[in-house]
């Protein structure tokens, strides 16, 4: 990102990975046992401590990245001023979600394109609507994301962006 080669980055916990990942560095010196990868999301009773540890680790990495972006000059401010970071759960209302009730934390405002500093609850809109909103914010408007309009209407009931999020 700093070199200007890309403006998109994805961080993933690996908790949804079928092949799993290794969390040995996180659990060293603890009594926590983590079953790697995909199974951690299904085993909610015995893996709560492990799942929490992974989410906390990812949040700390996110803060480190934000602090680094704040030190890089860009335009009239810094790189974080022009960034939107989307921090979200591995799953929403269910382990195998339909895209509703998905908790999302947005950090930054994409150079003023996104309203920030607010709490929103969009029970009536889906993750598809959220992604559609992001496309509008970057100047690539679409009525739906990753599906045709008839399917989007069926799942969401409304096409297009979530207007309350756009500045």
Tell me the per-residue pLDDT of 110-143, one tens digit each, with 9 for 90 and over.
Answer: 999 999 888 888 777 888 888 999 999 999 999 9
> Is 167 found in the same domain as 87?
yes
| Total number of domains constituting the chain | 2
Give CA–CA dist 81/98, Å, rounded. Answer: 32
> Is 158 found in the same domain as 87?
yes
Q: Indicate the pLDDT class of residue 160, thresholds 50, 70 and 90.
A: very high
> Is 147 found in the same domain as 99?
yes
> Is 95 found in the same domain as 165?
yes
Q: Which of 9-13, 36-40, 71-75, 77-81 shows the lowest per-residue confidence on average (mean pLDDT)?
A: 36-40
> Is 95 found in the same domain as 166?
yes
> Is 107 found in the same domain as 64?
no
DSSP 163: G
Please check the confidence at residue 78 and state whether its pLDDT lies above 90. yes
> Is 70 found in the same domain as 89?
no
> Is 56 found in the same domain as 3?
yes
> Is 163 found in the same domain as 91?
yes
Q: Indicate the pLDDT class of residue 43, thresholds 50, 70 and 90.
A: low
Q: Indicate the pLDDT class of residue 36, thresholds 50, 70 and 90.
A: low
The pLDDT of residue 70 is: 94
Residue 90: which domain range? 83-167
Of 31, 49, 79, the domain-final residue: 79
pTM for this entry: 0.78
> Is 61 found in the same domain as 119?
no
Of 79, 97, 124, the domain-final residue: 79
Please check the confidence at residue 35 and state whether its pLDDT lies above 70. no
The pLDDT of residue 30 is: 78
More confident residue, 100 or 48: 48
Of 53, 79, 105, the domain-final residue: 79
The pLDDT of residue 119 is: 83
> Is 108 found in the same domain as 152?
yes
> Is 161 found in the same domain as 87?
yes
Whether residue 138 contacts residue 166, with contact meaning beta carbons closer than 8 Å, is answered with: no
């Amino acid at each position: 990102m700093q070199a200007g080669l890309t403006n998109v980055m994805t961080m993933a916990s690996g908790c949804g990975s079928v092949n799993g990942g290794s969390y040995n560095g996180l659990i060293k010196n603890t009594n926590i046992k983590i079953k790697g990868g995909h199974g951690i999301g299904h085993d909610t009773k015995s893996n709560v401590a492990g799942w929490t540890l992974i989410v906390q680790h990812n949040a700390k990495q996110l803060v480190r990245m934000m602090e680094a972006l704040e030190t890089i000059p860009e335009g009239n401010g810094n790189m974080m001023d022009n960034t939107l970071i989307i921090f979200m759960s591995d799953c929403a209302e269910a382990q195998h979600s339909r895209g509703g009730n998905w908790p999302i934390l947005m950090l930054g405002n994409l150079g003023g394109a996104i309203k920030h500093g607010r709490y929103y609850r969009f029970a009536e809109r889906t993750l598809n609507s959220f992604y559609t909103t992001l496309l509008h914010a970057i100047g690539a408007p679409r009525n739906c994301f990753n599906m045709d309009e008839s399917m989007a209407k069926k799942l969401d009931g409304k096409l297009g962006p979530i207007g309350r999020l756009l500045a």
